[in-house]
Every structure is written in C-alpha cells, then in structure tokens.
C-alpha cells in the first residue's frame, strides 16, 4: 500500500538574471489564510549574504540600464503589463489563496497593477527637466533628471501586487535598478510580478527578487552604501527603524500607518454614510492602510446611524474569498487574527460597548482559517486605545460629538494622518473640513479607501516621512535627482 503525499513546490530568489537558492538553504511556507492546510509553496529564507548579492547585482547592472533608451524601458513595462493581463485569472486566484481577499478584489488588483505599469511606461517618456530664461544669450541654463542608482523596495502583504507595481515601475522607467523584498506572508505574488518583468525581457540584474524575514535581511537592504533610495510600505515602527538605519545620502519614501476617520454630520445621508463606513472599514477585511477605523458621528444622529451600521455589518457574508457571494475573506495570518481579537478585548476592558461582531468564527468552513466577525464599538472616547492605535482589521469605533469643531478636533487627535473623509450636504463645512483636516488624502462623501493611479498618495504626521509622495506623475520624482547645467557657447 502506497501513501499519497503532496509535494510542495519550492520557489527561488531571482538575482543577477538567475533563479537561485538562498545561501543558508532554508525555506519557509506560504499558506492559504482561508485554509491553513493549503500550502502555496516554499520560499527562500534569505540572509545577509543573499541581500548583499542582490545589491551587488543591481549595482553592476545600473550603468547599462541607466543608458537604455526610455522607449525600450517603456516597452518592457508594457510587455510585463501584457503578461499580467494574459494571466489575470490565474494570478487573481493565487492572490486570493495567498492573501485571503475576495476574488473580485483580486481580479481588480491584478488589473490595477497592469494599468500602473502602463501608466509609468507612458509618463516616463515625457518626464524631464526645465529650461530657464536668463540675460546671457550665449548660454543656456537647464536641468536634467537622472536616476539615483540602486533602489530597495520593501512591500507589504495587503496589496502584494499593486503596491510593488507602483514602486518598481517608476523606479525602472527612470533608469534605476531594484532589489525587491515582498512580505513573507505573500511571497508568491512578489514572485509573479518579478516573473512578468523577466518574461518581458528585463536585462540581468535590473530587478532582483529575494524573500525572507525582515529581521534577517532588512537592515542589509537599507544600510548598504550602494543603496541610494528605499521605498517602503508598512508599519510606522518599521518605518522608524528604516529611517534610523539608512545612510545620510540615502533617500526614503515611506507609506506607514493610519487611523482614518469618517465624519458623519447631522445633515448627512445616513444610508450613504453607513455604506461608506462598511466599504471603508470592512472591505479587504479591514486590512487597508486607508481603511475606516473611526466613525465620528454627530450625536443627534448617532443612534439612527449606529442601528443602520450594525444591521449592515451583521448581514455581511464571510468565508473563503474564492467562493461566490462572499463579501469578507479571512484575515491574512494567524498573527493578524490574534491582533484583532486582542484589540476587541482591549476595547471591552476600556469600557466601549461591542454592538456586534469581534468573535473568531469556528465550525464548518471556518476551523482551518483565520476568520473573525467584523466588529462595531460604540461609547468610544477619543483617548481609548481602540480610537488611537492602528488595529488593521475589521473593527470600527463609533465616537459621538456635539459639533463640527469637536469632530475636527477628534479626527486630528491621533498620531496619524493618512486618509480622512466627511459625509455632509453642507458645502461650506465640506470646504472647512478640507482645509483643516490633518491628512494626506482628503475625501468628501466618499470612502477613505482607494486612490487613483494618476494622483499623488501619501500621509502626514506618522503616516509618512512627509518627503516624497507615491503614485501619479509625482511618484517619478522620488527616483530621480536634479542636475542643473549652465551651457555656454
């Protein structure tokens, strides 16, 4: 009698144009958060030596890539986008299996990633310097934009395709070379993006891909003197550590934490406000940096709003993101599940009232995954931890206020400033909100989540280093340096 065994596929790093094993020959697994018994593959547990090899490869490839015609760079980005679109359904299903988000959201992310590559392929062809008028007609004064060199891209697990795409594409189109480390929760998606560039004909060493723990490779990837820029999305604490580790001449671009408010005034369309709260707070199972975690409601409409919100929340269908009709998938990992449950316990101990949800789901269809009911807290005060700290899960805190002025104070009364929105029919208050809210992204009658590919994105306060914005044409600026030329004849 033969025992049937399942062989887990092993994936490699991509360094200097070759797929290679890590130096320590150690692996880790990527698992499906909807079913922890479903292993997507084993990946290289890289170390300091591997990080160094990737940086050296990128450093060696930089001069040639910097001199590559922009039209050729653009063609490679477009061909990589073609690959993502041709493999959309396959990659989307893998994305749902690896991260947990529902399949329609995964399809949207694959398409957005391809669109991002095409956007930068086009914008990179017209991104240039300036000329300046002056009195000496026998000379010209102008600026040129030049690439920096080696760029390290360290990316999170919640948007494991689209966030790397919006970092790597502008870096490549402007002539930089890249070392890319994805989150260890979603390494397969990082590999799929890398494969798209490889199949598009990217030269050796221009993009290098390594997997592994940030504790083992992170410092090497940001502190090496050859690294001229670090683009990072993740927690504020990790951002602070990177900021302290980089050399003086290494520039950083960081998109960090958020504690995003949605203000609901007493003149608001409450059905719209509820839908925006649910979409912003619970889509992607609350695991978006721009997710709505605080709803600041005028006291006059608080009870009516809360009743509608609780009802809408309890109607959400939770399950495996590959199944039809599911609205919320699992949390991305056991660590995420434990963190959310811990904050629910903290909220109850602080005296907030748990109106619905907040419990781990068990039973058929749930026992093998990391499922939790979306939670709504009321009677929350601004100083409570659940109103101050980033939870990164499906937990909404409802805070009641007595005036527009108090709403603004409460909204601004946290260390973060990433995204904020208001629901109102009052145009004058909407304008005042836009001026006074401390947030990098500001919305009126729209959800806190989501941003356009062509628009700048970034935060204020501890949501960012407040240096360079990502996304849009502005996103190209981080990856270039300005040289001023005085040309006489």
Q: Which residues are catalytic?
A: 255, 289
Nearest to 298 by CA among 374, 404, 392, 201: 404
The closest alpha carbon to 262, from 446, 23, 58, 477, belongs to 446
β-strand pairing of 460-461 with 353-356:
unpaired
Burial 421-440 (b: 16+ CB within 10 A, else e): bbbbeeeebbeebeeebbbb
Give bridge partners of residue 375 from the DSSP assignment.
Answer: 395
- Token readout for 250 is 């290494």
Q: Judge whether 449 and 292 are in contact, CB under 8 Å.
A: yes
Cβ–Cβ < 8 Å for 30, 188: yes
For residue 35, how many other CB atoms are within 10 A of its CB?
A: 18
90 exposure class (CB count in 10 Å sphere: 0-12, 13-18, 19+): exposed
Question: If DSSP codes are grouped into helix, strand and coil, which group holds residue 12?
Answer: coil
Q: Whole-angstrom Cα distance, residue 140 to residue 126?
A: 21
SS3 384: coil
Phi/psi of residue 429, each to 5°?
-70, -35
Q: Between 302-314 and 270-282, two packed helices, what is the crossing angle to 10 degrees?
A: 50
Residue 122 in contact with residue 74, Cβ under 8 Å? yes
**Eight-class DSSP state of 141:** E
Please report the DSSP string for 51-106 in residue order: HHHHHHHHHHHHHHHHTS-HHHHHHHHHHHHHHHHHTHHHHHHHHHHHH---HHHH
Q: How far is CA 433 from CA 76, 338, 378, in A?
A: 43, 36, 24
DSSP SS3 for 152 = strand
């Amino acid at each position: 009698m033969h025992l049937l065994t399942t062989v887990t596929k092993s994936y490699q790093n991509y360094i200097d144009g070759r797929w290679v094993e890590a130096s320590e020959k150690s692996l880790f697994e990527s698992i499906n958060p909807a079913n922890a018994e479903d292993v997507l593959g084993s990946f290289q547990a890289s170390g300091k030596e591997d990080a160094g090899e990737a940086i050296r490869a990128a450093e060696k490839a930089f001069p040639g890539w910097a001199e590559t015609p922009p039209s050729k760079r653009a063609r490679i980005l477009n061909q990589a986008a073609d690959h993502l679109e041709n493999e959309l359904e396959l990659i989307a299903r893998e994305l749902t299996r690896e991260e947990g988000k529902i399949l329609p959201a995964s399809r949207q992310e694959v398409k957005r990633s391809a669109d991002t590559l095409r956007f930068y392929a086009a914008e990179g062809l017209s991104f240039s310097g300036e000329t300046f008028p002056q009195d000496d007609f026998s000379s010209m004064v102008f600026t040129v934009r030049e690439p920096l060199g080696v760029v390290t891209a360290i990316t999170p697990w919640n948007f494991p395709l689209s966030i790397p795409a919006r970092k790597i594409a502008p870096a490549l189109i402007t002539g930089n070379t890249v070392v890319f480390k994805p989150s260890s929760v979603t390494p397969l998606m990082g590999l799929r993006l890398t494969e798209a560039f490889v199949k598009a004909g990217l030269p050796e060493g221009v993009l290098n891909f390594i997997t592994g723990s940030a504790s083992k490779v992170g410092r090497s990837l940001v502190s090496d003197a050859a690294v001229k820029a670090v683009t990072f999305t993740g927690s504020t604490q990790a951002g602070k550590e990177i900021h302290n580790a980089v050399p003086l001449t290494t520039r950083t671009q960081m998109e960090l934490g958020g504690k995003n408010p949605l203000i609901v005034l007493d003149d608001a369309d409450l059905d719209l406000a509820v839908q925006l709260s649910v979409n912003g707070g619970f889509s992607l199972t609350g695991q978006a940096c721009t997710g709505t975690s605080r709803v600041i409601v005028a006291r006059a409409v608080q009870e009516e709003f809360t009743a509608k919100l609780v009802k809408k929340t309890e109607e959400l269908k939770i399950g495996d993101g590959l199944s039809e009709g599911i609205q919320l998938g699992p949390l991305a990992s056991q660590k995420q599940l434990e963190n959310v449950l811990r904050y629910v316990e903290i909220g109850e101990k602080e005296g907030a009232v748990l109106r619905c949800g907040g419990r781990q789901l068990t039973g058929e269809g749930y026992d093998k995954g990391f499922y939790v009911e979306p939670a709504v807290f009321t009677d929350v005060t601004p100083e409570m931890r659940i109103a101050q700290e980033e939870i990164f899960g499906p937990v909404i805190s409802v805070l009641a206020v007595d005036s527009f002025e108090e709403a603004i104070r409460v909204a601004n009364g946290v260390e973060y400033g990433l995204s904020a929105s208001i629901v109102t029919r009052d145009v004058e208050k909407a304008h005042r909100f836009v001026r006074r809210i401390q947030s990098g992204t500001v919305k009126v009658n729209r959800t806190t989540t989501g941003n356009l590919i062509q628009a700048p994105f970034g935060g204020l306060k501890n949501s960012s280093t407040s240096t360079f914005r990502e996304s849009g044409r502005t996103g190209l600026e981080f990856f270039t340096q300005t040289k001023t030329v005085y040309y006489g004849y």
